[in-house]
Structure 1
Amino acid sequence: MTAMTSQRELIRFLEDRFECAQACAEAARACALRASVVDPDGPREQELVRRKGLLCVEVCDATCRVLAEEARRDTAAIRVQVEWCRSVCSECADVFDEHPGGQDGAKSCRECAQACTDFLATLSRA
């Protein structure tokens, strides 16, 4: 990671990193709940909701772990992980929007995608 130019920038970086990790955890929780109420043997559309939800859980959990590693200094790897999380959360939100009862999960996924976007902006300035 490049040298931070001020203490305030470092604090903002860490706050954005934490907010992103929190949003990922919330999206993972919402997706796990949504995936658990979908019948895996149900119609093809329900299986898509279930699979997207489970993928989102895995990606968000992995992103939380990456963001929690204080010793990790590989900005490029962090960026790739957060961008992947943002993409998966956006896709998951779109899938959830199309199914009854999926609005809460979609909202959590969109909030996570936005937190990822915000963190990436901070990462670019770091």
Structure 2
Amino acid sequence: MTSQQEVYRFLEDRFACALACTECARVCALRASLAETEGPEDQESLRRRGITCAEVCDATCRMLSDQAAQDEARLRSEVERCRAVCLEGAHVFDADPRGEEAARACRACALACSAFLATLG
């Protein structure tokens, strides 16, 4: 049986993960729009990564915010996907001198995803 403390931790970590996903989506979308105006092909990779990361984080946040989304396997899969995309995004943004904020947001989101996954067991 799950204790009330475990339920609270699950909900707190779920909320923290959703917030981190929202922030990461915001920063990555902003980074993607900046990359559109900066020019050549090297910025195209940043733009694509920003869009992908924002979309995945947004989808994960929506799933985490859905009270009916209690299918643990599906939830785990989506959060693991988000964590992986964020870590890849952080790596790509690290290569850009103006990508520091996006890389930081991606790492924070990946950490929040990991913390939430730990509550799933």
* 1:67 match: 64
* 2:79 match: 82
Q: Is the 8 A contact 1:41 1:47 kept in 2?
A: no
- State the distance in 2 between where 1:39 and 1:31 align: 12
1:1-126 residue pairs with structure 2 within 5 A?
A: 4-39=1-36, 42-124=39-121
What is the percent sequence identity of the aligned residues?
Answer: 59
Q: Is the 8 A contact 1:27 1:109 kept in 2?
A: yes
- Give the superposition deviation at 1:42: 2.6
Q: Is the 8 A contact 1:25 1:61 kept in 2?
A: yes
- The runs of at least 4 consecutive aligned structure 1 residues that moved more than 3 Å come to none
Equivalenced residues, count: 121
Structure 2 letter corresponding to 1:90: L
Pairwise CA RMSD: 1.2
- State the distance in 2 between where 1:36 and 1:95 align: 16
- SS at 2:36 equivalent: coil
Residue ranges of structure 2 left out of the alignment (5+ in a row): none
- State the distance in 2 between where 1:115 and 1:17 align: 9
TM-score, with structure 2 as normaliser: 0.96
Residue ranges of structure 1 left out of the alignment (5+ in a row): none
Deviation track 1:69-110 (CA, whole Å, cap 9, x = no partner) reads: 111221000000000000000001110010121000100000
TM-score, with structure 1 as normaliser: 0.92
